[in-house]
Amino acid sequence: MKIILAPMDGLTDVYARELLTSIGGYDYCVTEFLRVTDTLLPSRVFLRRFPELKSNYTPISHTKDGTSIFLQLLGSDKNALAENAAKAVQLGANGIDLNFGCPAKTVNRRNGGASLLQYPDTINQLVEAVRKAVPTDIPVTAKMRLGYDNQDLAHDNALAIQEGGATWVTIHARTKKEGYRPPAHWEALSPIADLLTIPVIANGEIWSVEDYFSCRQQSGCENVMLGRGAMVTPDLARQIKATLANEPIQVLKWSSICQLLEKLYHLMLANTALKERYIAPRLKVWVKWLMPSYSEAELLFPSLKKINDPHHAIQMIKEFPSISS
């Protein structure tokens, strides 16, 4: 059973990948998407999006705790995707993931992401081109949604991805039109999983251990990708793995969350290329995500959101008392 940390633009960056995988439970990560148009991108662009390709990571293309990372590419030019995938592998990427699921208007306006779900033949050609461009031992995977406006082409798109040579396909169980509005249609994944011979990874609305088991029962998929649920409950992957192993769940306490945020602060501070003014906003974003799981975060956020100095912000977080203590 595998759990993958989802690519979420602006959220699951190098810092989130390091922090979340350090807690445990994840088998793979996928980077935020790297947009490809019609050119071969310079190495610095790959390294900016995927810093774990740098030589100070040992082995490269892994988080500090050893979790393998795939690079996600987004685009609709098969030759450019193939060239950039090949370059990413030369730089050390462990795998290539293709984005056919992003619902953002700016992406879909330019024939990227979920807009491609209207054209199964194009999806097949894109996957096939990338598969041919990289060594056979490098996984090529894809993420899709159930469709663009509706689910009519869900099976066609999944088959197109499989026949293009993908190692597995992750399916966000909603259409592009539905965005992130509940519910996720887990039941729609079951016939697709029965149709394909490659693994189907379920994604969407998995916020708890209970949701994982509901998703598995309805979708028939034991492997999952965690997105927003990973931000709300940072140890969700570990909780799921512990439950499957019949081990006691050790939920992260508020004190551990504060240590996690302090580590985030120090990681960002150590990055000399990152301006300090970006640190406090990132801390505030994560505290806001934690609010559904931690009443401390809910009580802290109204005061924290007014703070722009990163040193003041982390001090406020560290000193905020645990309600359970």
**Where in the sequence of the chain do the CATH 3.20.20.70 domains occur?**
3-244
Q: Does domain 254-319 have CATH number 3.40.50.300?
A: no
Q: How far apart are CA 117 and CA 115, in angstroms?
A: 5
Give the pTM.
Answer: 0.95
Tokens 């993931």 belong to 97
* Catalytic annotation, residues: 102
Q: How far apart are CA 171 and CA 301, in angstroms?
A: 33
* Alpha-carbon Rg for the chain in angstroms: 20
Tokens 């996984």 belong to 139
pLDDT 10s digit of each residue in the chain, 325 long?
Answer: 999 999 999 899 999 999 999 999 999 999 999 999 999 999 999 999 999 999 777 789 999 999 999 999 999 999 999 999 999 999 999 999 999 999 988 788 778 899 999 999 999 999 999 999 999 999 999 999 999 999 999 999 999 999 999 999 999 999 999 999 999 999 999 999 999 999 999 999 999 999 999 999 999 999 999 999 999 999 999 999 999 999 998 899 999 999 999 999 999 999 988 999 999 999 999 999 999 999 999 999 999 999 999 999 999 999 998 876 4
**Where in the sequence of the chain do the CATH 1.20.225.30 domains occur?**
254-319
Check residue 325 and give its pLDDT.
47
Neighbours of 170 (CB within 10 A): 28
Q: 3-244 has which CATH code?
A: 3.20.20.70
CA distance to 74, 132, 228, 231, 281, per residue, from 285 (Å): 25, 40, 12, 10, 6
With helix as H, strand as E and coil as C, how does 40-67 read?
A: CCCHHHHHHHCHHHCCCCCCCCECCCCC
Q: How far apart are the first and last CA of the chain?
A: 36
